A and B are shown apart, each in its own frame.
Chain A
Amino acid sequence: DTEVTQTPKHLVMGMTNKKSLKCEQHMGHRAMYWYKQKAKKPPELMFVYSYEKLSINESVPSRFSPECPNSSLLNLHLHALQPEDSALYLCASSQERGVGYGYTFGSGTRLTVV
Chain B
Amino acid sequence: EAGVAQSPRYKIIEKRQSVAFWCNPISGHATLYWYQQILGQGPKLLIQFQNNGVVDDSQLPKDRFSAERLKGVDSTLKIQPAKLEDSAVYLCASSPRTGGRTEAFFGQGTRLTVV
Q: Do A and B bind each other?
A: no
Binding site for B on A (CB under 8 A): none
Binding site for A on B (CB under 8 A): none
